[in-house]
Amino acid sequence: MTTFLRLIWPMAFAGALSFAQDRLPMTGDAVPDLAAFDDAMQKFMSDRSVTAGTLAVSKNGKLVLSRGYGWLDDAHTHLCPPATPMRIASVSKPITLAALLHLIRAGKLKLDDKPFEYLQVAPPPGHKMDERLLKITIKDLIEHKGGWDRAKAGDPMFMSLKIAESLGKPGPASSEDIIHYMAGQPLQFDPGSKSVYSNFGYCVLGRVIEKASGKKYIDYLHESVTKPLGLTSVQLGHSLPGARNAKEPKYVDAGFGRNVMQPRSKEKVPAADGTFCIEAMDAHGGLIASAPDLVKFLDAYWMNGNPRKAGQSASYTFFGSLPGTWSVVIQRPDGVNMSALFNQRSDASGLKYEAIRDVLNETAKDIKDWPR
């Protein structure tokens, strides 16, 4: 990675880097009419001491801005390019939905299909299945109405070692292990009766995609969604730094914890580097992508997974959050789509990271002359 960047940057970014006192370095082509976006990103990141971020903006299907801010590394020797792939956390869900709805349109699945019955899931020995699990539909999982409440029972996607241990495995627990374990756990409410955000529900949808397509989740995602759009950056994320895409930044988080990827180790690791198993989170939060590729996705699909059609108008916002990750994608009714990715989600300032939604929307609203 180091040699590659040093070789290409003098050529590829000549005239495209911007530096100013007390401002983060910027990469990518400056667009004078859209300089307010640079100012907004600079302030947002500076106020929170964020070291790496990217922003992509499209207008009526055309990419009009793609910028990188800050550095990929602690030493501040490698600038953050505009197309830097980063963890996108829950922004993975709209992409999963697009793949799932491809299968539904192809007649391989129906919204009222029962996932636990379809997958033939059985509870672990000695555990009894909550009969309501067999009543959950694909539609329920899409709408977070499956019956799980993580505020009451915890989020199983972050219980990797506990689940592995209960199944007599070394860990970390795979997505299949987690589903097997959850088949022996009670629901917190009747399926379909209310909506409570559930990562686990989308984990189940990922396995439904695999069975219906006959392919691994990521392979069908590429076949049905990313390759037709030319989205080369959308890949599976990896928990440990040594396994990651070499172009990813360092993910920053103040926390430390047990390394679930190496359960026998007693050494504490940074929260973003092994305290959760992102490999098991593929369909609900395990993807990496670049901001410009996410904007291409937003140009082609609504965040509800449906393809966009000419003349349609809607407004959507979706956030993603993991230790070392904050992401947002925005679809506006005026034809503006935006994606911003950052390499941290908290800091000593206490400022809210959700504020980026309002920051970007206010900036877009005030732009008078969009590039054509």
3-state secondary structure 147-159: CCCHHHHCCHHHC
State the Cα–Cα distance between residues 30 and 219, nearest whole angstrom: 36
Band of pLDDT at residue 247, cut at 50, 70 and 90: very high
Encode pLDDT of 162-184 as tens digits: 999 999 999 899 999 999 999 99
Among 259, 240, 260, residue whose Cα is nearest residue 250: 240
Q: Does the structure show a pLDDT above 80 at 293?
A: yes
Band of pLDDT at residue 11, cut at 50, 70 and 90: very low
State the Cα–Cα distance between residues 202 and 141, nearest whole angstrom: 7
pLDDT (average), residues 325-337: 98
Length of the chain: 372
Q: Coil, strand or helix: which one is 352? A: coil
Encode pLDDT of 112-147 as tens digits: 999 999 999 999 999 999 999 999 999 999 999 999
Distant-in-sequence contacts of 175-179, Cβ < 8 A, 24+ apart: 175/203, 175/206, 175/207, 175/280, 175/281, 175/282, 175/283, 176/207, 177/280, 178/203, 178/280, 179/119, 179/121, 179/203, 179/204, 179/207
The percentage of the chain sitting over the pLDDT mark of 70, rounded to a whole number, equals 94
- Dihedral angle over CA of 284, 286, 287, 288, nearest 10: 140
C-alpha separations of 110 from 34, 55, 157, 203, 250 in Å? 44, 36, 26, 18, 41
State the Cα–Cα distance between residues 281 and 202, nearest whole angstrom: 9
Q: Does the structure show a pLDDT above 90 at 5?
A: no
Q: Assess contact for 313 and 333: CB atoms under 8 A.
A: yes
pLDDT number for residue 16: 44
State the Cα–Cα distance between residues 274 and 278, nearest whole angstrom: 8
* Domains defined for the chain, CATH in brackets: 1-85+312-372 (3.30.450), 96-218 (3.40.710.10)
Tokens of 38: 């640079």
Encode pLDDT of 72-93 as tens digits: 999 999 999 999 999 999 999 9
Three-state SS for 158-188 is HCHHHHHHHCCCCCCCCHHHHHHHHCCCCCC
Encode pLDDT of 25-79 as tens digits: 999 999 999 999 999 999 999 999 999 999 999 999 999 999 999 999 999 999 9
Residue with structure tokens 């928990």? Answer: 239
Tokens of 287: 């993807």
pLDDT number for residue 15: 35
